[in-house]
């Protein structure tokens, strides 16, 4: 290997081979049985527990933890999966520090919550490792539902519909199912091809067929789908990205963070991935943090996140910001890019300090430049490919109640729909709830009455 | 540092912490380590008659009950008395006592229930230099089937008879160790007293099955698919032991009879509690078996600090709580308290609510924002919420002052009055006009 962290440009193999294995290993290793018992012991089995309220899928946390502590982790897993069929992935990727663990009474009391996420992983991993699928399909209803998008929202919706006996076809534009579980989540959160293993495990319910490489809008029209199915669920996520809109954005070395991450997730050998020596990431969310941290793990010498507002406004949690700083990422706030410099390939990015005033964000006079041979844009994903005719609100498909869109017979959930944070667990909750609503409607007289005014 | 020197039935030891007759005191090696660690005395593992020693099982002899974080709360054993030859034990006792003259050395004995056997064993231990004997009438398993241990301890006449023989054939101070496997501890204690015992020690272990192996359907510890009841000890038995000690301490017949308190003593605080309820010293087994001999250092420092803070001598502590151990009927029914939740320490877990609402008196309100409040007009002061709250001192019981009206009963708090004079009591004594 000839490259090092100091090699200029965008090159692969900056680190010794062993370092890659270490860097991309399981970020939070699973608890063993003893550790799980000790961790489970800390739960107070709260009444009307705040952690359950904070969980978007309302997993009965005190119950599953008690089931672990009494030596029945498989029963714990069933409790979890009953509410959240992607409980395995959620155990790995949920920002628990801003959900259940943030409100755990022991976090409030001692600053050390019950390790709900890790306990959830302990339980779900155990049952999944046995290959057991804990649910059985109800008798076939003869109804068919089209689910568009095989991300968390679509998968959760499809599973719940299949459980109720409906036949489900999932149409997904990509080559593999899983959505951002497969193409977005940081590598070290979902190691060992977990996303695919989870999809295969979930499909054991039966009654679900997935058609990959089928894009709504490109390969098929919504009207045809409606004609051939009793209901349609849209879980298409946010396939577009925001542009920087500054001079030089098209220079070589400037790209969307989500593409970089998707490539990283699909790489068989991460040491072969080229990465810059000086990397600049623009944005303040989970995507920015993941792109920055993984750039460091690939061997970039300097990585800087630049966010246009104050640190408290970053949508990445404090825990994730710490995670980034620990990985050696510098976080610069209150600065926005004004131009990308370079002759063909990027060499520097020029920023202006910003002022967050009463009239909104304005650029101050002071400028500075950061050396960069690679720039990742992580300033937000956008709805793209949403079918015509659906009401859109604030850049998302407008929904009411359990995911009903403005068009009868069409539901939507997950990142593409209004309501809730853009999180895996929220997508699962919305997919599941939409499925229940679809089931409710299909079990009635088949007439789908939609609220007007969406 | 308070002086912890203890004199129990004339036997001096540098502190009141003795090791109970059990595996920690089974041989010279252990006892030397115990003395090096600072234990004040030992009761040597029970000796039997001369001849082929008894045998123990060769599979597991302990079962256990655990609390959070696998903290051992109760230990159960099916071990018998010493399985080493008598002469070896006697030689070792003599050797240790010679090197540690300041420590108490008691020999525990269990031989068949006939005069000759007792006479013989007493003669054999004569020149060991030991300070006293303890008669093991307590062991509930194995030996009891052979007419010894608790088989004797459950029959007051036998206790009295054997104690008399021991006092007749030996000049050594004699402690009678009692079994808790009886409906009342008083008859055995009174019998020991009548027989001339210098002291009683209690409790020995409680007959028990700790758990059942749900794959093999056998009680545990399991020996080849079968289990026998064992003897339970450790923190779980402390409440039982405390009550028995206190009953002997306050009983008209046995009052003043020295007591060596045993059963779940794990910390200095446990020891202090036993002593406050009348024990002259304490004996420890399970705590040493769980944590090793070093715990005695904490017991010594803790008890000294406590005595210093209270400005008490060790002898002031002994029996100090006995006068306050009364019958239920003498408790003051005009002592009215109400639970109080300290909102600053409350962590909103809701356990008090679940407990009171589901199983008690519906006296806790759950208000918006997970604020929990006691409703005085419903609270009967049962204390359950205090016991289930995970935060110490978060819920306290506050006494209503005299004259205040109890919002639950609408009755003003009056002077001391007990059941003995209560109007609902058909046998109440009419209060003097
Ligand atoms: C880099 C990154 C890191 C993240 N990290 C976390 C994290 O750690 N924890 C967390 O909780 N959340 C995280 N998120 C957010 C989380 O991944 C999403 O909220 C979640 O995946 C949304 O699920 P979804 O099913 O709505 O959409 P997606 O997961 O985006 O799935 C949408 C699916 O629809 C398909 N699709 C799109 N358009 C069409 C079409 N026209 N026709 C057919 N199929 C289509 C796509 O191929 C895809 O499979 C992260 C997001 C990103 C981008
Ligand atoms: C393994 C084991 C063996 C014991 N053997 C004896 C014994 O031989 N003689 C005896 O008098 N008590 C024996 N005991 C009882 C203890 O001396 C003591 O009375 C009892 O364990 C309660 O005290 P603790 O709670 O501190 O353990 C034994 C206890 C255990 C755990
Ligand atoms: S809030 Fe914490 S302690 Fe209470 S039930 Fe949830 S995990 Fe357990
Ligand atoms: S003391 Fe008893 S009755 Fe009163 S609030 Fe507590 S649990 Fe309820
Ligand atoms: S049990 Fe204690 S901490 Fe929990 S809600 Fe009640 S008072 Fe608060």
pLDDT (tens digit per residue) in A304-323 = 999 999 999 999 999 999 99
Which segment of A89-93, A155-159, A450-454, B35-39 scores lowest on mean pLDDT?
Answer: A450-454
B178 lines ligand 4 (CB under 6 A): no
Q: Would you state the pLDDT for residue A1?
A: 53
CA distances (Å), origin A175, targets A156, A171, A215: 19, 11, 11
Q: For residue range A394-411, what is the model confidence (pLDDT) as tens digits?
A: 999 999 999 999 999 999
Task: Collect all residues of chain B within an 8 Å Cβ-Cβ radius of residue A41.
Answer: 68-69
B317 lines ligand 4 (CB under 6 A): no
Q: Would you state the pLDDT for residue A316?
A: 93
Task: Collect all residues of chain B within an 8 Å Cβ-Cβ radius of residue A44.
Answer: 349, 351, 390
Mean pLDDT of A167-171: 98
Question: Right CATH number for B328-421 from 3.40.50.300, 3.90.1150.220, 1.10.1060.10, 3.30.70.20?
Answer: 3.30.70.20
C-alpha distance from B281 to closest chain A C-alpha (Å) = 35
DSSP B330-367: GS-TT--EEEEE-TTT-----HHHHHHHHHS---EEEE
Q: For residue range A34-47, what is the model confidence (pLDDT) as tens digits?
A: 899 999 999 999 99
Third-level CATH fold of B6-324: TIM Barrel (3.20.20)
Domains of chain A in start order, with CATH, are: 33-129 (1.10.1060.10), 144-239+383-443 (3.50.50.60), 241-377 (3.50.50.60)
Q: Would you state the pLDDT for residue A446?
A: 52
Q: How far is the CA of B190 from the centre of ligand 3 (A)?
A: 52
Comparing alpha-carbon positions, the chain B residue that sits nearest to A38 is B69
Q: Would you state the pLDDT for residue B44?
A: 98
In this predicted structure, the answer to whether residue B431 has a pLDDT above a threshold of 80 is no
Q: Would you state the pLDDT for residue A91?
A: 98
Inspect the interface and report whether the beta carbons of B70 and A37 lie closer than 8 Å: yes
Report the C-alpha gap between B285 and B215 in whole angstroms. 31
Residue from B70, B348, B351, B362 whose CB has the most chain A CBs within 10 Å, to mutate: B348
Q: Assign residue A40 a region (left: φ > 0; alpha: ψ between -120 and 50; beta: otherwise).
A: alpha
Which segment of A100-104, A343-347, B428-432 scores lowest on mean pLDDT?
Answer: B428-432
CB contact, 8 Å: B68 with chain A? yes
Report the C-alpha gap between B154 and A283 in whole angstroms. 80
In this predicted structure, the answer to whether residue A205 has a pLDDT above a threshold of 80 is yes
Q: Would you state the pLDDT for residue B133?
A: 98
In this predicted structure, the answer to whether residue A442 has a pLDDT above a threshold of 60 is yes
CB contact, 8 Å: B390 with chain A? yes
CB contact, 8 Å: A66 with chain B? no
Q: Which residues have CB under 8 Å from A18's CB, separation 6+?
A: none
Q: For residue range A99-151, what is the model confidence (pLDDT) as tens digits?
A: 999 999 999 999 999 999 999 999 999 999 999 999 999 999 999 999 999 99
Q: For residue range B158-179, what is the model confidence (pLDDT) as tens digits?
A: 999 999 999 999 999 999 999 9
Please count the helices (runs of H) and the strands (runs of E) in chain A: 17, 19
ipTM score of complex: 0.77
Burial B193-213 (b: 16+ CB within 10 A, else e): bbbebbbbbbbbbbbbbbeee
Give the start-to-end residue ranges of the domains of chain B.
6-324, 328-421
Q: For residue range B3-46, what is the model confidence (pLDDT) as tens digits?
A: 999 999 999 999 999 999 999 999 999 999 999 999 999 999 99
A153 lines ligand 1 (CB under 6 A): yes
Atom of ligand 5 nearest to the CA of B347: 3
CB contact, 8 Å: B372 with chain A? no
> Which ligand lies nearest to the CA atom of residue B384 in the structure?
4
- For the record, the structure tokens of B370 come out as 């997970």
Q: Would you state the pLDDT for residue B70?
A: 85
In this predicted structure, the answer to whether residue B418 has a pLDDT above a threshold of 90 is yes
Mean pLDDT of A359-368: 92
pTM for the full model? 0.87
CA nearest to B137, candidates B165, B109, B169: B109
In this predicted structure, the answer to whether residue B147 has a pLDDT above a threshold of 90 is no
Q: For residue range B268-300, what is the model confidence (pLDDT) as tens digits?
A: 999 999 999 999 999 999 999 999 999 999 999
Question: Mean pLDDT in chain A?
Answer: 95
């Amino acid at each position: 290997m000839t490259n090092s962290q100091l090699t200029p440009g965008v090159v692969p193999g900056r680190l010794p081979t062993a370092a890659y294995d270490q860097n991309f290993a399981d970020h939070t290793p699973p608890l063993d049985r003893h550790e799980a018992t000790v961790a489970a012991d800390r739960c107070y089995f709260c009444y009307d527990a705040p952690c359950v309220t904070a969980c978007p899928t309302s997993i009965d946390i005190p119950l599953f933890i008690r089931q672990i502590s009494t030596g029945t982790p498989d029963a714990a897993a069933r409790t979890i999966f009953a509410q959240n069929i992607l409980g395995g992935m959620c155990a790995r990727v949920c920002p628990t520090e801003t959900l259940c663990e943030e409100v755990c009474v022991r976090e409030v009391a001692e600053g050390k919550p019950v390790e709900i996420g890790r306990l959830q992983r302990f339980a779900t991993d155990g049952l999944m490792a046995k290959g057991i699928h804990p649910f059985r399909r109800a008798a076939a209803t003869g109804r068919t539902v089209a689910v568009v998008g095989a991300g968390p929202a679509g998968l959760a919706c499809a599973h719940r519909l299949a459980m109720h006996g409906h036949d489900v076809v999932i149409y997904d534009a990509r080559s593999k199912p899983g959505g951002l579980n497969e193409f977005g989540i940081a590598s070290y959160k979902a190691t060992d091809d977990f996303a695919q293993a989870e999809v295969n495990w979930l499909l054991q319910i039966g009654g679900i067929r997935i058609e990959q490489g089928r894009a709504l809008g490109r390969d098929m029209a919504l009207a045809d789908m409606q004609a051939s199915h009793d209901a349609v669920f849209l879980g298409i996520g946010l396939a577009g990205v925001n542009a920087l809109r500054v001079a030089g954005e098209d220079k070589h070395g400037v790209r969307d963070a989500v593409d970089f991450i998707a490539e990283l997730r699909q790489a068989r050998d991460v040491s072969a991935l080229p990465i810059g020596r000086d990397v600049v990431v623009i944005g303040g969310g989970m995507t920015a943090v993941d792109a920055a941290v993984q750039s460091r793990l690939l061997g970039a010498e300097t990585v800087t996140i630049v966010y246009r507002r104050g640190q408290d406004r970053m949508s990445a949690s404090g825990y994730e910001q710490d995670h980034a700083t620990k990985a050696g990422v510098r976080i610069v706030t209150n600065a926005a890019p004004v131009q990308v410099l370079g002759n063909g390939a990027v060499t520097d990015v020029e920023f202006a300090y910003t002022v967050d005033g009463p009239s909104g964000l304005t650029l101050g006079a002071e400028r500075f430049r950061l050396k960069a041979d690679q720039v990742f844009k992580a300033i937000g994903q956008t709805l793209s490919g949403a079918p015509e005719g659906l009401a859109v609100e604030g850049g998302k498909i407008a929904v009411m109640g359990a995911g009903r869109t403005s068009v009868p017979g069409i539901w939507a959930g997950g990142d593409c729909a209004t309501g809730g944070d853009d999180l895996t667990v929220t997508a699962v909750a919305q997919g599941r709830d939409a499925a229940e609503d679809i089931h409710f409607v299909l079990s009635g007289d088949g007439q789908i009455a939609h609220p007007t005014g969406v | 540092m308070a002086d912890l020197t203890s004199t129990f039935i004339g036997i001096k030891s540098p502190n009141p912490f003795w090791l109970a007759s059990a595996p920690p005191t089974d041989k010279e090696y252990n006892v030397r380590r115990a003395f090096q660690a600072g234990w004040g005395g030992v009761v040597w593992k029970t000796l039997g008659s001369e001849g082929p020693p008894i045998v123990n099982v060769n599979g597991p002899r302990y079962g256990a009950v655990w609390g959070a974080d696998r903290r051992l709360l109760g230990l159960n054993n099916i071990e018998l008395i010493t399985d080493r030859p008598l002469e070896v034990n006697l030689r070792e006792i003599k050797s240790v006592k010679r090197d540690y003259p300041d420590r108490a050395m008691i020999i525990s004995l269990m031989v068949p229930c006939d005069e000759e056997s007792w006479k013989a064993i007493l003669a054999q231990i004569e020149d060991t230099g030991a300070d006293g004997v303890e008669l093991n009438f307590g062991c509930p398993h194995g030996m009891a089937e052979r007419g010894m241990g608790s088989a004797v301890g459950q029959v007051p006449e036998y206790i009295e008879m054997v104690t008399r023989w021991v006092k007749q054939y030996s000049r050594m101070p004699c402690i009678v160790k009692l079994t808790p496997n009886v409906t009342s501890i008083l008859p055995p204690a009174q019998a020991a007293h009548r027989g001339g015992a210098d002291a009683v020690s209690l409790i020995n272990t409680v007959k028990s099955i700790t758990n059942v192996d749900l794959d093999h359907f056998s009680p545990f510890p399991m020996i080849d698919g079968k289990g026998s009841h064992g003897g339970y000890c450790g923190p779980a038995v402390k409440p039982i032991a405390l009550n028995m000690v206190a009953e002997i301490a306050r009983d008209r017949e046995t009052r003043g009879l020295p007591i060596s308190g045993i059963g779940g003593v794990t910390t200095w605080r446990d020891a202090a509690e036993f002593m406050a309820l009348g024990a002259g010293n304490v004996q420890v087994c399970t705590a040493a078996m769980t944590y090793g001999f070093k715990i005695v250092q904490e017991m010594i420092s803790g008890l000294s600090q406590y005595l210093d803070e209270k400005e008490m001598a060790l002898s002031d502590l002994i029996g100090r709580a006995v006068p306050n151990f009364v019958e239920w009927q003498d408790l003051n029914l005009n002592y009215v308290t109400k639970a109080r939740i300290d909102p600053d320490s409350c962590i909103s877990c809701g356990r008090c609510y679940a407990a009171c609402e589901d199983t008690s008196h519906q006296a806790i309100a759950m208000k918006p924002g997970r604020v929990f409040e006691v409703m005085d007009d419903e609270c009967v002061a049962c204390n359950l919420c205090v016991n289930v709250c995970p935060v110490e001192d978060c819920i306290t019981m506050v006494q209503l002052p005299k004259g205040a009206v109890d919002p639950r009963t609408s009755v003003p708090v009056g002077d001391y009055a007990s059941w003995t004079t209560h109007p609902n009591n058909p046998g109440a004594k009419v209060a003097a006009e």
